[in-house]
Amino acid sequence: MMGIVNVTPDSFSDGGLFFDQADAVAHGEALAAAGADIIDVGGESSRPFSESVPVQEEIRRVVPVIEELARRLSVPISIDTHKARVARRAISVGASMVNDIGALLLDPAMGSVVAEAGVAVVVMHMKGTPKVMQVGPHYEDVVGEVRGFLADAVERAEQAGIGPSRIIVDPGIGFGKTVTHNLLLIKHLSALQAMGVPILIGPSRKSFIAKILGNGDERREVGTQAAVAVAALHGAHIVRVHDVERTRYTLKLVDAIKNPASCNA
């Protein structure tokens, strides 16, 4: 489980709640205590139609939080950024993973930063940029096209000098996709397994859930757990979520269903 810490004033689900450094650190600690295996810290919202944050402002937001969490926690800290300068600073204070929504494309220096540091990287599929990704996204074959993009991203990472054991792929739920596109990617997530690298998926509280179940925090969270369960059954290795405690119970049941002989209940 990857727990989300948004050090932003405008993220779609919890924007502003953890913008203060002390609040962000406390939230990261709470996620780890609830069972998060990775803490993902981000300083720029990637919600649809969002504007980019200047590099120095993003560094100001995330670096003190990552430095303090790395000092207090034993679990890995991930930096959620597509900017190489932000990634480099975050790594210097304790981040051991880069979660790049740009799949090493939005900043040409990102691949070398990750390779030189020897950290892990998540390469995610996105159609366009956050500002325009939800303007009429179209695919002839969303599963095939996303799979092809991610296969290219893995090759690009390896060519940059990043070892295959440090590469993770993410189909980018909600990043340039309609409701149907998101559902198809979750349903056919196993199509990504042939790449031989871990699969991360982040359906947590996304708008496609509200469009199906209706708005409201509880409905979005219930829908998140359903999406997490299906994704886990279809091959997800890492789930990126806001509510780690609920997700822990969801995954415990999924594991019992997958391996009933190992269940001691």
Domain span at residue 7 reads 2-202
DSSP letter for each residue of 164-231: GGGEEEE--TTSS--HHHHHHHHHTGGGGGGG-S-BEE--TT-HHHHHHH-SSHHHHHHHHHHHHHHH
The pLDDT score that the predictor gives to residue 19 is 66
pLDDT < 50 positions in the chain: 14-15
Q: Flag whether 225 is in a domain.
A: no
Q: Which residues contact 191 (CB under 8 A, 6 or more apart)?
A: 143, 144, 147
The pLDDT score that the predictor gives to residue 95 is 98
pTM beyond 0.75: the answer is yes
Q: Flag whether 229 is in a domain.
A: no
Tell me the three state secondary structure of residue 3: strand
Q: Flag whether 209 is in a domain.
A: no
Q: Flag whether 196 is in a domain.
A: yes
The pLDDT score that the predictor gives to residue 129 is 78
**CA distances in angstroms from 29 to 47, 56, 129, 202, 251, listed in the order given:** 24, 25, 31, 20, 21
The pLDDT score that the predictor gives to residue 133 is 73
Q: Flag whether 219 is in a domain.
A: no
Q: Look up the CATH number of the domain holding residue 93.
A: 3.20.20.20
Q: Flag whether 224 is in a domain.
A: no
CA angle 236, 237, 238 (to 5 degrees): 95
The tokens for 28 are 């990261």
Residue with tokens 């496609």: 208
Q: d(Cα 12, Cα 212) in Å, to the nearest integer?
A: 17
Q: Flag whether 251 is in a domain.
A: no
Q: Flag whether 89 is in a domain.
A: yes
The residues annotated as belonging to the active site are: 206, 240
Structural domain tally of the chain?
Answer: 1
